[in-house]
């Protein structure tokens, strides 16, 4: 996917995370992810289509926001704390 859209693997990972997070927020998913990552909306649209579109984003968003409160950041912070023994 990275080669197909002309991004590095790290950029694609960042894009998928930002798209998943932005999908759960009000407003345009791609524009919000672009603001978070600095990647173009065109590149983010290509990444979104490459992972399966909006339906796939709902799954990614659900994985990131484990408690379903609409805020995946607290879940990521809790996961990081577990990984680093806090």
> How far does Cα 61 stand from its chain's mean position?
7
CA distance 23 to 8: 22
What is the tens place of the pLDDT at every residue in 22-63?
A: 887 889 999 999 999 999 999 999 998 888 887 777 666 666
Find out whether 24 and 67 touch, Cβ atoms under 8 Å.
no
State if pTM tops 0.85. Answer: no
């Amino acid at each position: 996917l990275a080669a197909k859209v002309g991004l590095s693997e790290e950029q694609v990972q960042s894009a998928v995370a930002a798209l998943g997070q932005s999908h759960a927020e009000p407003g345009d998913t791609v524009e919000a992810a672009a603001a978070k990552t600095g990647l173009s909306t065109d590149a983010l649209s290509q990444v979104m289509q490459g992972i399966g579109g909006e339906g796939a984003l709902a799954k990614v968003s659900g994985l990131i926001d484990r408690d379903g409160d609409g805020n995946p950041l607290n879940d990521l912070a809790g996961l990081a704390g577990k990984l680093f023994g806090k």
